[in-house]
Structure 1
Amino acid sequence: MTGQRVVVVGGGIAGLATAALLAREGYAVTMLEQNRTLGGRAGSWEHDGFRFDTGPSWYLMPEVFDHFFRLMGTSTAEQLDLVTLDPGYRVFSEDGRPPLDIRADGVANRAVFENEEPGAAAALDRYLAGAEDTYRMAVDRFLYSTFADLRPLFAPDLLRRLPRLARLLLEPLDRYAAGFVQDNRLRQVLGYPAVFLGTSPGKAPSMYHLMSHLDLDDGVRYPLGGFTELIDRIAALAEEAGARIVTGARVTAIRTAQDGKRAHARGVDYRDAAGAQHTLDADIVVSAADLHHTETQLLPPSLRTHPENAWERRDPGPGVVLAYLGVRGRLPQLTHHNLFFTTDWEANFQTIYGPDPGIPDPASLYVCMPSETDPEVAPEGYENLFVLIPVPADVSLGAGGMDGAGDRAIERAADAAIRQISAWAGIPDLADRIVLRRTVGPEDFASEFNAWRGGALGPAHTLRQSAFFRPGNASKKVDGLLYAGCSTIPGIGLPMCLISAELVVKRLRGDGSGGPLPEPLPTPQAERVS
């Protein structure tokens, strides 16, 4: 095993983590990233003294990050400067009620719920007890499984839970949450994690109520310097372990050779930033790029595990319009994370996911203001706002641009969001105080990240696209071709992408267990000594 050559395609968090873990395992790893900077969707953009995380901004599931760093022989504390946010986030409602602050600990949040609805504290206690139990089961049995061996799923403790599991898989999250609280806004607090999973509360299985354990009991954290610090640290660990990282290298094909009746990965062809074509030989190829792009653009039709017609039956999740705004003066009305919920959620999601999709107005928005916590991300006396508007995954909506120069639908969505934030949060002069504006649309996600249909997060976590129903991490037609990232198991989000990197290691080891690997990963030198 040690010394085999590996090419990792894609320098987002999944590709970087895969390169780091495999290099520590003793593989000779080269990682190729098509853009000049690393991070993929978890990138960074700087302009006029403002610095924006361009994608993920919630630090949840801290134990997954802790585990990854320990696998690499280090710790989160050594790599990142984390702060706990309090409030964790603020909720604004269309009905004009005062904003609702979700606090940093479970006891305080039970009081918040009780203040909104008598009896809701006890209801939340029951809800979160179930959420924690489901979360532990998911971590121990599902999230770290490649599903190459299904025998762990027939363990006696899981079989005893089958009736509850069946309910959690078949009942949608919104209906499940409605069985605990009546207040519409409280139901939305319990249901909004579905958006993190690329779907709506009406489509997400209620198993994902486990997410509420993370923000309502466990709290929300932030790495000072932004999520680009996380990317930088993982990239540094990969290089320290021996991985070679090459940017400006666009992979154009995965090379294969026939070995008897089977095809085997033999490397990649790629084009460098100057346009020159190169061939890189390898024994194993791991694509952490978008799975649709990998399968339909980098492999010939005869070797596709997921051909184009298979994607027609899949849900790409949402697209987004993003607005990066630099704002003059302070915005005490907002906190670090802010959620703006429309009253009629069902209509809002129907506009995005229904048969005649469009951009909702008003929309349920997310606004991140990291300058509340981190003074380094904006000039003194200014704030930076990251505004996210969920829209259909549809490249025809167009691309964004600087200072209103993006395509019409994108700029109109951003204008509407600014007006909405201004009205709901009570910032009447918000538009006049914007000194920097850049927008991003679905077409940008398609062109920069090869995102299927311009989706922002990855394939939605509906029942048909979760756990062992989600595309696996190994090609069925090409030996030595593996997958990592948000398109494959276990799914969407930074923690899931870190786990997907570990699943590559487990697949190569032939490890069919359901739990995390022992810490730390032994280095080849340590193996020789032992």
Structure 2
Amino acid sequence: MTKTIAIIGSGFSSLAASCYLAQQGHKVTVYEKNETIGGRARQLKQEGFTFDMGPSWYWMPDVFERFFNDFDKKSADYYELIKLNPAYRVYFGVNDFVSIFDNLEEIKTTFESIEKGSGKKLENFINQAKSNYDVAIKDLVYRPGVSPLELITPETALKLNQFFGTVSNDIRKKFKNQRLIQILEFPVLFLGAKPTKTPSFYNFMNYADFGLGTWHPKTGMFDVVRGMEKLATELGVTIKTNSVIEKIIVEQKTATAIVIEGKVIKADIILSGADYHHSETLLDAEHRNYSEKYWDSRVFAPSSLLFYVGFDKKIENISHHALFFDVDFDQHASDIYDKPKWPEAPLFYANFPSKTDTTAAPDGMESGFFLIPLAPGIEDSEELREEYFDKIITRFEELTQQKIKNNIIFKKSFCKNDFVADYNAYKGNAYGMANTLLQTAFLRPKLKSKKVKNLYFTGQLTVPGPGVPPALISGKLVAELIKKSIRTQ
């Protein structure tokens, strides 16, 4: 039976869900509040420079392939991938960095050169991480989070103890060198929690890193958004931008319509891929799944201070992706999670897409993306943004031994207030809700409303969690729940 489905938001989860629902034969319309699609993965073009505004790491290529394969397609039908080598560099001091190459053998050699005996230990650690990856990504994360019984399989029974240890403890038992520890702890930061709070099972992120590699769509992550948009429209999906949802109408405990600029738009099913907390504010209080107290009690992944910067020259001594760990890693983490405040000495990440993609900057120039992780809900002002930009650029110049401040010809910042204004992000979070033990699988906000019939949710605040690959999976999971619900009506 064909249904009319209204989807709120056009991020990865919404676009994925739209494709699956259209494939099922439904009439699907996506409504996006901003001028362009993609949600946090929008693109910024300014003065000849091109920037991905949000996600910039293409990990877990198998998840993207699985998505396109579901439509008898492959990613190559929509965009070209380049494997980065080095995948990234981690800077610890002046011209002092560790390069992570595109294959495990070279990475083992690098580890061995830093800590004797660590090469073999790394191989064993990655084998365990691969085993976890095979269980998690090929099976567990494709469960809808409806029941705790979803987690009970012969494979997970063998790994039960890994849900009670932590990634940090596991790494520190095997490796003593602080640099290697920080490199191995880095990938779980994508899950939005400290390594000391992330269950051991999630070391599968290390396999995603060292085992599967870091890729780059030829002209940026927005290639993926464009590819998904093309697939969606091929399947018959309609996408409307500049469409701010003012209310979700509920009649007799059933979602029946959305309101845009005072106009009531009827729908048989409503699916929100917008911020979950914001989506519920579009409902009258009695129809909401979760209270303000509930949201305030959740552990949220960080917000971020971002800078999109255009330089009038090429930047030297730098790779496409670079992490700057020349300050106290644990202190910055504490400033995010334990006692939220602006960090005195922030770690930061820099991304120079024009190192790989010549269209990202004019000839002889460079486009740069800088990110400082921050506590959600933190104070945000132009003065603070400028103070911290100066901090990281000064360090960048020192660490890479070059002057670049006077070569900046374009700069735009984006921080907590912008996450709230552009994405209605709860407390201005950038990555959603952290994947801690008590916020995993069935313990996350539900894909299906418990109080309102025909109302569903998708995205990084629900199952399976933060990150681009999980967003694609979330879209599939909610589409399957909708299909099941329609069958039983």
- The alignment status of 1:462 with 2:447, answered yes or no, reads no
Residue 43 of structure 1 corresponds to which residue in structure 2? Answer: 42
- The alignment status of 1:420 with 2:404, answered yes or no, reads no
Counterparts of residues 28-67 of structure 1 (less than 5 Å): 28-67=27-66
Residue 445 of structure 1 corresponds to which residue in structure 2? Answer: 419
Q: Deviations over 1:139-195 (max 9, x none)?
A: 233200003355443333433x1xx323x2222222211111111111011101122
Residue 349 of structure 1 corresponds to which residue in structure 2? Answer: 333
Q: Distance in 2 between matches of 1:172 and 1:359?
A: 26
The amino acid that maps onto 2:167 is L
2:139 match: secondary structure: helix
Of 136, 139, 142, which residue of structure 1 is paired with 2:137? 139
Counterparts of residues 480-519 of structure 1 (less than 5 Å): 480-510=454-484
Residues 359, 413 of structure 1: 8 Å contact kept: no
Q: Distance in 2 between matches of 1:254 and 1:434?
A: 45
Q: Distance in 1 between matches of 2:97 and 2:152?
A: 46
Q: Deviations over 1:293-335 (max 9, x none)?
A: 011x111111111121111211122111101111122223111
Q: Deviations over 1:189-227 (max 9, x none)?
A: 110112211222222222221101011121110001111
The amino acid that maps onto 1:116 is I
**TM-score between both structures, scaled by the size of structure 1:** 0.89
Counterparts of residues 314-463 of structure 1 (less than 5 Å): 314-355=298-339, 357-394=340-377, 396-398=379-381, 407-427=382-402, 429-463=403-437
The amino acid that maps onto 1:503 is L
Change (3 A) 1:304 1:61: same
Residues 321, 414 of structure 1: 8 Å contact kept: no
1:36 match: secondary structure: coil
Identity across the alignment (%): 32
1:188 match: secondary structure: helix
Q: Distance in 2 between matches of 1:416 and 1:192?
A: 22
2:45 match: secondary structure: strand
Of 294, 308, 317, which residue of structure 2 is paired with 1:310? 294
Q: Deviations over 1:259-286 (max 9, x none)?
A: xxxx111121112xxxxx2111111111
Give 1:23 shift. Answer: 0.8
Q: Distance in 2 between matches of 1:221 and 1:43?
A: 19
Q: Distance in 2 between matches of 1:140 and 1:228?
A: 25
Residue 101 of structure 1 corresponds to which residue in structure 2? Answer: 99
Residues 59, 222 of structure 1: 8 Å contact kept: yes
Residue 279 of structure 2 corresponds to which residue in structure 1? Answer: 294
1:461 match: secondary structure: coil
Residues 322, 414 of structure 1: 8 Å contact kept: no
Q: Distance in 1 between matches of 2:99 and 2:244?
A: 44
Residue 111 of structure 2 corresponds to which residue in structure 1? Answer: 113
Residue 89 of structure 1 corresponds to which residue in structure 2? Answer: 88
Residue 256 of structure 2 corresponds to which residue in structure 1? Answer: 266
The amino acid that maps onto 1:130 is Q
Q: Distance in 1 between matches of 2:138 and 2:409?
A: 48
Q: Distance in 2 between matches of 1:37 and 1:114?
A: 47
1:436 match: secondary structure: strand
Change (3 A) 1:459 1:415: same
Residues 11, 38 of structure 1: 8 Å contact kept: yes
Residues 254, 452 of structure 2: 8 Å contact kept: yes
Q: Deviations over 1:421-441 (max 9, x none)?
A: 1112222x1111111111111
Of 123, 126, 132, which residue of structure 1 is paired with 2:124? 126
The amino acid that maps onto 1:79 is Y
The amino acid that maps onto 2:275 is D
Q: Distance in 1 between matches of 2:150 and 2:337?
A: 35
Q: Distance in 2 between matches of 1:284 and 1:471?
A: 19
Q: Distance in 2 between matches of 1:184 and 1:245?
A: 48
Q: Distance in 2 between matches of 1:464 and 1:196?
A: 17
The amino acid that maps onto 1:455 is N
Structure 1 unaligned spans of 5+: 272-276, 399-406, 512-530
Give 1:358 shift. Answer: 1.7
The amino acid that maps onto 1:418 is I
Q: Distance in 1 between matches of 2:389 and 2:164?
A: 36
Counterparts of residues 129-278 of structure 1 (less than 5 Å): 129-159=127-157, 161=158, 164-166=159-161, 168-258=162-252, 263-271=253-261, 277-278=262-263
The amino acid that maps onto 2:312 is R
Q: Distance in 1 between matches of 2:96 and 2:147?
A: 51
Counterparts of residues 467-478 of structure 1 (less than 5 Å): 467-478=441-452
**TM-score between both structures, scaled by the size of structure 2:** 0.96
Residues 361, 416 of structure 1: 8 Å contact kept: no
Residues 395, 446 of structure 1: 8 Å contact kept: no
Q: Distance in 2 between matches of 1:53 and 1:41?
A: 9
The amino acid that maps onto 1:490 is P
Residues 32, 241 of structure 2: 8 Å contact kept: yes
RMSD of aligned Cα (Å): 1.4
Report how many residues are paired.
Answer: 485
The amino acid that maps onto 2:290 is H
Q: Distance in 2 between matches of 1:509 and 1:175?
A: 42
2:306 match: secondary structure: strand
Give 1:47 shift. Answer: 0.8
1:294 match: secondary structure: helix
Give 1:253 shift. Answer: 1.0
Give 1:72 shift. Answer: 2.1
Change (3 A) 1:426 1:97: closer
